[in-house]
Amino acid sequence: MGKVAIVDSGCANLSSIHKALLRAGITAFVTSEAKAITGAAGVVFPGVGSFEHAAALLKQKGLDEALLQCAAAGKPFLGICLGLQLLFSCSEEQSSATNRLPSGLNVIPGKVIRFSHGLPVPHVGWNRAVPRYRHPLFEGLPDGAYFYFTHSYFVQPENPGHILALAEYGHPFTAAAARQNLMGVQFHPEKSGPAGLRLLSNFGKIIADPDLL
């Protein structure tokens, strides 16, 4: 298995995901260089914070094009938290004065939406993620394994077939999404104990054998 690029967009705590990948048996490196990202065997794209700010940073650093190249090339790709959300078309999370929704990478069609009014946000803590179908990312994990979440928004794919796993917080929401080589989780596997390490290890197996998808 080749090395995995952890994308440094300026919007994530990278040391914890780097350590978790190493514990899962994956050789990874942190980079903000487009060539290093496109040359890696796989990509992990973590993120926290504002959708609009993170999307602007990607463009400013020229990383949006690198990520789009990886997506188009069929490279195994794992978005984490905001990194998942940025794979989508747009977000309701809007901090600018414009009336337009901020755009994401649009490699998984759909929108990022806020939890319903009346629910305390952010949604923080342990919650069950239940896969809707068999997928190598969740191989060996029990149905409804617990993962650690912290977020106020969640993704809503246009195609229900792109919903990989659901969790419940007031109502069902997308806990993981997948489209071909693109995978993403709303939770933080690096903070999710043995279940999170197993999921990262499964991602490593997908990199070693993309035919698993």
Active-site amino acid positions = 81, 188, 190
Q: How far is Cα 45 from Cα 195, in angstroms, rounded to an integer?
A: 19
**Cα angle: 74, vertex 37, 5; to 5 degrees:** 95
Name the DSSP class of 169. Answer: S
Give DSSP secondary structure letters for 96-161: SSSSSPPB---SEEEEEEEPPTTS-SSEEEEEEEEESS--GGGTTPPTTEEEEEEESEEEEESSGG
Is the Cβ–Cβ distance between 64 and 106 less than 8 Å?
Answer: no
For residue 76, whether the previous peptide bond is cis, meaning omega lies within 30 degrees of 0, is no
Contact predicate 132/104, CB 8 Å: no
